[in-house]
Amino acid sequence: MQVCGAGSIREDSDVATDIRYTRNGGVAIAYQVVEGGDVDLVYVPDFMSNLVYGWESPYLRSFYERLARSFRLILVDKRGTGLSDHGPHFAVLETRMEDLRAVLEAASSGDAAVVFGAHEGCGMAALYAATYPERTRALVLFHPVVRGHGLEDRRVQEELSALRAGWGEQAWCDELLRLGCPTLYANEEDRRWFADWLRVSASPAVAYALNGI
């Protein structure tokens, strides 16, 4: 398995992770290409990600490698998260969706790609597919969440306040993992990795903005 790109940051017997950047409106967006199958698949991640640190997790590494067995896998850190620029202000969904288009063009994705969105990334993936159907081979959504005016309540606001106050602190990260994935919570090393994953993937302000939209 081989990764296209410049500036190798890690290499072992299985995969070399290389980071490249493209720009949309002057904002640099980080991405990776993992060569595998003949069909392109771009993975639009959850609220935040980090293209370097994700490979340090045996779970994410296995997930990426399994996708790359069948697809030419394109990974991206969305605007404001991981290794990508933030820009002058928090961008609307349409702007972040155009970041995805810029990444696919920079990755020389000639044929239509499979667009795979997870959680918060489903909105960007769905908007891309609706805007550029001719560039979308298939749309895959994992655990999408629908929100709209009138659906917010006091509990959501309380959760956002707790996120703003506790983001990146070990106790808050532990509780989030306990609620979301108790099997990983049982392992101290997994708890430590998860807290660091949140810290290197998004700042408190970005995490609040992503969860509040």
The pLDDT score that the predictor gives to residue 17 is 58
Same domain, 94 and 43: yes
> What phi and psi values does residue 45 have, to the nearest 5 degrees?
-80, 180
pLDDT, position 70: 95
Do 199 and 121 have their domain in common?
no
**Residues 131 and 155 occupy one common structural domain:** no
Same domain? For 46 and 26 the reply is: yes
User: Beta strands 16-24 and 6-11: pairing type?
Assistant: antiparallel
Taking alpha carbons only, the member of 69, 58, 6 closest to residue 34 is 69
Q: How far is CA 196 from the centre of its chain?
A: 15
Examine the domain organization and report whether 100 and 196 are in the same domain. Answer: no
Q: What are the residue ranges of helices labelled H in 18-118?
A: 58-70, 93-106
Q: What span, in angstroms and rounded, lies between the C-alpha atoms of 107 and 95?
A: 19
Q: What's the pLDDT at 154?
A: 75
User: What residues in the chain have per-residue pLDDT under 50?
Assistant: 1-14, 16
Quick one: pLDDT at residue 10?
Answer: 38
Q: What is the pLDDT of residue 108?
A: 92
> Which of 146, 163, 179 finishes a domain?
146
The span from the CA of 76 to the CA of 20, in Å, is 10
> CA triplet 51, 54, 58: central angle to 5 degrees?
150
Of 103, 118, 146, the residue that ends a domain is 146
Q: How many CB atoms lie within 10 A of CB 150?
A: 6
Paired tokens of 169: 């602190």
Number of domains in the chain: 2
* 49, 59, 206 from 68: Cα distances, Å: 18, 14, 29
pLDDT at 148 (0 to 100)? 57
Q: Collapse the DSSP code of 100 into the 3-class scheme (helix H, G, I; strand E, B; otherwise coil) and give the result.
A: helix
What pLDDT does residue 47 have? 87
Q: In terms of Cα–Cα distance, which of 179, 190, 168, 174 is closest to 58?
A: 190
Supply the pLDDT for residue 14.
47
Q: Are residues 53 and 156 in the same domain?
A: no
Domain that holds residue 182: 151-213
Q: Mind listing the pLDDT tens digit for each residue in 62-83?
A: 999 999 999 999 999 999 999 9
Q: Which of 11, 4, 88, 19 is nearest to 50 (CA)?
A: 19
Amino acid at position 27, single letter = V
